[in-house]
Copies of this chain bind each other. A is one copy, B any other.
Amino acid sequence: MATRRFDPDRRERIIDAALDVIAAEGVAGASHRKIAAHAGVPLGSMSYHFSGMDELLAEAFTRFGTSISDRFDERLGRAVGIDAARQAVVDLIHEDLLDSQRELVLTHELYTLAARKPEFRAITRDWMARSRRALGLHFDPVTCRMLDALIEGLSIHAALDAEPGNTEPHSDSEPSDSEPHSRARTAEAVARITTPALDSTTPDTTRKAAHE
């Protein structure tokens, strides 16, 4: 049936190239031609493998979301006990999320698409559902949502609060920002969000029941 001539993973390479080009120049700056050139395939291949830019973007960002989720799962899967889980979250933020310009850019490009087009919102929704499922190994569902949102916010603010000059967050008159301080503040935030408020209106269990 399949009589692929050669290079059966052309499609995959095109998707990889698309992510590279988008990371470098944005969805705005990405064109069939640039992606084709970067992947080393002829222009005609683009329309042959993908019906249009939206299909390519959808596949590319689906792959991107999956690969991030995999790391998320892995870190949280390894943790045993609630303290290790909290530490895993801190590590995630500081080691995985904050260290890669590429991932920062791609994440925002995806969010921008998702904000406007429902078909991309399906991708972000699945990604978030996976994140919460991973957190659900250690925390109750309500806490998972809050914690997931906190992770998002801390990552974004750390990245977008950086000095225009370069990558790392800036210090104003405000709390100083050497790496250890920054980590400690993240740890404190994670501790707070995973600890029920005293006058809580919700039942109150933060940690998951022992089984499962």
Q: What residues make up the interface of A, taking CB atoms closer than 8 Å to B?
A: 26-28, 101, 104-105, 107-109, 111-112, 114-116, 118-119, 121-122, 124-125, 128-129, 132, 141-142, 145-146, 148-154, 156-157, 159-166, 170, 172, 174-175, 184-185, 187-189, 191-202
Contacts and interface: CB of A to CB of B under 8 A. Distances in A.
A162 to B, nearest CB: 6
A1 to B, nearest CB: 33
B188 A128 contact: no
Nearest to A162: B121
A34 to B, nearest CB: 14
Nearest to A188: B202
Contacts of A124: 160-161
Count of this chain's copies in the oligomeric assembly: 2
Contacts of A196: 188, 192
A146 B116 contact: no
22 contacts: A101-B115, A105-B115, A108-B112, A108-B115, A111-B156, A114-B160, A118-B165, A121-B160, A121-B162, A121-B163, A125-B162, A125-B163, A128-B161, A145-B185, A146-B154, A146-B188, A148-B157, A150-B193, A151-B153, A188-B201, A192-B192, A195-B198
B160 A156 contact: no
Contact of A164 (B28, B121, B156, B160): B121
Given A148-B157, A156-B152, A162-B125, A189 B193 contact: yes
Given A192-B192, A200-B191, A145 B174 contact: yes
